[in-house]
Amino acid sequence: MSVSWGRRLLASVLSGVASAGLVHLAMLVAFWIADSSNPAIIGAAHQYFLSASLIAFVVVFAFGVFGLLDRWWGALVAGVAAGIIAPLAGTSLQVVTQGVPIDDTFVPSIAATLLTVNFGFLVAAVAVVSTVGRLVYRAVVGGGGTDEAPTRVALVRLPAKNLADGQTTHLERSPIDTDLADSQWDAYVAAFTEHGWTTQEVPYAERLADSVFVEDAVVVIDDLAIIARSGSEARRGETDGVEEVLTARGLDIERISNPGTLDGGDVLVVGKTVYVGRSSRTNADGIAQFRALLVARGFEVVAVPVTRALHLKSTVTALPDGTVIGRDDLVDEPRLFARFLPVPEREGVAVVALDPETLLMSAAAPETAELLRELGYDVVTVDISEFEKLEGCVTCLSVRLG
């Protein structure tokens, strides 16, 4: 999350004040209790720990300025640092100002206080900074910081043994090198993990040739999973394992029912607008059911004719800024899209946004990759030639969550 310096400084100051103040108070209370509730001890404890508490403020403030209090481990380290540095420095300062000479015994004697009078300060600092200090910091910066990037999960499925028997509709059948396909799938999955995604395999479907194209089995939008019903009867068994995984993840499950048909590859989400292709795999009844589910959740559903390719996302996909990219010769009606950018290669129509600045796409479209780089995107390419022979692309090999 991007946080302004002004807000970060304010968060650091308040976190430092809260942390140092609570640790100081904890030490006063601890000494008061230890001295049988003698009120006179409070003044002495205050005087002794005042320097340490001020230094603890500085330590916590410094960690906050560098944004480390937003992470649990950073706050923990800040607590340890404050708990060690502050009491040692504070005690040293008091001893020196009282005229005690610095000799060979000075450092060991000061260090020994961490096991005696300053031990409570260490414990309190670790506990307070890692909890209250971090909570105050996060509250001021807006609560949007996280321990790590928001969880992004890509559901994937191993290629079936009979991948070579996968269906083709708009391309001439070509021989499939299944060993090469397996290695290409591994590289595809690795691209997600290398960019901060968690990948989860859905149950293997050994005899379902097209099951590697897992996106066709479901459409996931926010916390809603719509289980598809393919226009190809041979592919309808692919949904079982996918539904199990999504149910376990706690998503709301809805289904396209007979006589409706819909493939996930026919659905393109651009903000609150959802384009759904009327293709050989998705019929009018399926679109009507799909529209009813999404309109009720505040989305606009736009039906798009698809006659020149297998799926809508075989013809167009969207960049993170909402621009739809595609091939003129594949798109039936580009005017249906708010912003449309033609790309030079058929294999370049499909991109997956790994993050707002990074796109994953086929290595078979170098001109398109360069075009997208010129638009300011980092482009990661993967060779998926064996899947492209089956009319697959980078989008249909995964279901992206989050």
φ/ψ bin of 291: left (φ > 0), alpha (ψ from -120 to 50), beta (otherwise): alpha
Q: Dump the DSSP string for 68-99.
A: GGGSHHHHHHHHHHHHHHHHHHHHHHHHHHTT
Q: Where do we find the tokens 């923990």?
A: 76
φ/ψ bin of 99: left (φ > 0), alpha (ψ from -120 to 50), beta (otherwise): left
* Dist. CA 91–CA 106, nearest whole Å: 11
Q: Is 393 a catalytic residue?
A: no
- The amino acid occupying position 59 is V
| 353 CB burial (10 A radius; 0-12, 13-18, 19+) | middle
46, 170, 195, 311: the catalytic one is 311
The angle at the Cα of 272, spanning 269 to 273, to the nearest 5 degrees, equals 55
Q: Which two tokens stand for residue 337?
A: 């899209």
Residue 324 CB neighbours (<10 A):
21
Q: Which two tokens stand for residue 112?
A: 């020994």
The runs of H, that is alpha helices, within 134-261 are 134-141, 178-194, 239-248
- Strand pairing report for 340-342 and 358-362: unpaired
Main-chain dihedrals φ then ψ at residue 217, nearest 5 degrees: -80, -15
Main-chain dihedrals φ then ψ at residue 219, nearest 5 degrees: -120, 125
Is the CB of residue 23 less than 8 Å from the CB of residue 125? yes
Q: Is 311 a catalytic residue?
A: yes
Who contacts 96 (Cβ-Cβ below 8 Å, separation ≥6)? Answer: 102
* Dist. CA 19–CA 190, nearest whole Å: 42
Residue 291: C-alpha distances to residues 24, 153, 223, 247, 381 (Å): 60, 25, 16, 22, 34
Catalytic residues: 311, 396
